[in-house]
Amino acid sequence: MPDQTFLDWPFFEPRHRDLAAALEAWCVAHLPVDHSDIDAACRGLVAALGAGGWLQHSGGVLDVRSLCLIRETLARHDGLADFAFAMQGLGMGAVSLFGSPEQRAWLDKTRAGSAIAAFALTEPLSGSDVAATSTTAERVQGGWRLSGEKTWISNGGIADIYVIFARTGEAPGARGLSAFLMPADVAGLHVVERLDVIAPHPLARLRLDGVELPDSALIGRAGEGFKLAMAVLDVFRSTVGAAALGFARRALDESLTRVSSRRIQGAALAELQMVQGHLADMALEVDAAALLVYRAAWTKDQGAARITREAAMAKLYATEAAQRVIDTAVQLHGGDGVRHGSVVEQLYRDIRALRIYEGASDVQRVVIARSILPKEAK
């Protein structure tokens, strides 16, 4: 059991402490799951998280501290469980924040675990540069026709509902994008490639060949898709930091067990000062990451309109620190650290993508720098 003293920090209310304790017990009983069939595992996890009531927190009113506590706890037990939870939230984030009553009906399904959600923003030529989105949505009688390609779409291939971003052309660049709610069974949507990565989860490249959507599919206002995407990412970037924190806590825990039991020249590894130095650095990075993650989450929950800087700092620091903590954990485990199937080997693969998706580390640096520079220097 990792250090839980952070729950006494003033960022939290009693309901958060209750949530963390109840979810911990659920995780001990249900995780990890078998990952051999990734699609089946994810479908099963979404259903189980729905049945457990945890997905109620993934949409509707977003309490960012709860989202972060859930992600960090799930990530500590099973990275795929964190993924399944996170994508229900990110996928429906635009609907939670800006959806019409009709669109919000989908939240009943994603929060129950009876529908799987996906967030389709990235394209082959626009990952970090969202303003370069080239998928088009043209006006047709009674609605919109969408054409283009999306890639690196998590849950692509198993999702029931997508939020998709396309160029509607009100202005060039960032001011000409819009968001749409797109059921997976529309005509013209093709899953053209499934993508295999070092920590496997459902991931796909999609093609839209003249997909027709009604007027009611537009989320928010036409031309405001970029700001809408950024507002969703403000919330969910903090939670990526939380997932990284969960991985780092697990790596520290595994390391403490390892250095207490492994002996070298007649003494436990833990007695060596150089090992203690590593442990101290790991613990320091874990606490610093937690402070940044829950500072961002608390700030948003207090009603801040934007937490762009706080969220970028939380994601950047927590993911980079977790990578270092996990790398040290692998080192302390020696050969066992690189053995397929060991906990720290799995963490080593799990953490890597978090420094890339939902805004790569260097994008977060750009966001932070712009937030502190005077206007004329940006």
Binding site for ligand COS (CB under 6 A): 121-122, 127-131, 174-175, 226-227, 230-231, 233-234, 306, 308, 357-359, 363, 366-367
Quote the DSSP letter at residue 82: H
Q: Which of 11, 37, 7 is nearest to 300 (CA)?
A: 11
282: which 2 tokens? 């790991």
Q: 82 vs 234, which CB is nearer to ligand COS?
A: 234
What are the distances in angstroms from CA 282 to CA 2, 128, 234, 252, 333?
13, 30, 27, 7, 14
145: which 2 tokens? 């026709």
What are the distances in angstroms from CA 310 to CA 1, 235, 341?
28, 10, 35
Alpha helices (H) along 183-272: 225-261
* Separation of CA 345 from chain center: 20
Write down the least CB distance from residue 21 to ligand COS, Å: 31
- How far apart are the C-alpha atoms of 83 and 327, rounded to whole Å? 21
Q: Which residues are catalytic?
A: 358
User: Between 308-332 and 273-301, two packed helices, what is the crossing angle to 10 degrees?
Assistant: 160
Write down the least CB distance from residue 153 to ligand COS, Å: 9
Q: 31 vs 304, which CB is nearer to ligand COS?
A: 304
Q: Is the dihedral of CA 255, 347, 80, 300 positive or negative?
A: positive
Write down the least CB distance from residue 202 to ligand COS, Å: 14
Write down the least CB distance from residue 328 to ligand COS, Å: 27
Q: 92 vs 252, which CB is nearer to ligand COS?
A: 92
Burial category of 7 from C-beta neighbours within 10 Å (exposed 0-12, middle 13-18, buried 19 and up): middle
β-strand 267-268 against 263-264: which pairing, if any? antiparallel
Write down the least CB distance from residue 306 to ligand COS, Å: 5
Q: Is 172 helix (H, G, I), strand (E, B) or coil?
A: coil
Residue 68 burial (CB count, 10 A): 30
Q: Is the dihedral of CA 333, 334, 340, 345 positive or negative?
A: positive
Task: Determine the Cα angle at 63 with ends 358 and 50, to 5°.
Answer: 85
Write down the least CB distance from residue 32 to ligand COS, Å: 24
Report the run of H or E that residue 183 belongs to, with start and end.
strand 177-183
Q: 171 vs 338, which CB is nearer to ligand COS?
A: 171
- How far apart are the C-alpha atoms of 323 and 9, rounded to whole Å? 25
Q: 72 vs 234, which CB is nearer to ligand COS?
A: 234
Q: 98 vs 357, which CB is nearer to ligand COS?
A: 357
Q: 122 vs 319, which CB is nearer to ligand COS?
A: 122
Write down the least CB distance from residue 200 to ligand COS, Å: 17
Q: 112 vs 191, which CB is nearer to ligand COS?
A: 191
Q: Which of 171, 156, 240 is nearest to 203 (CA)?
A: 156
Q: Is 45 helix (H, G, I), strand (E, B) or coil?
A: helix
Write down the least CB distance from residue 79 to ligand COS, Å: 16
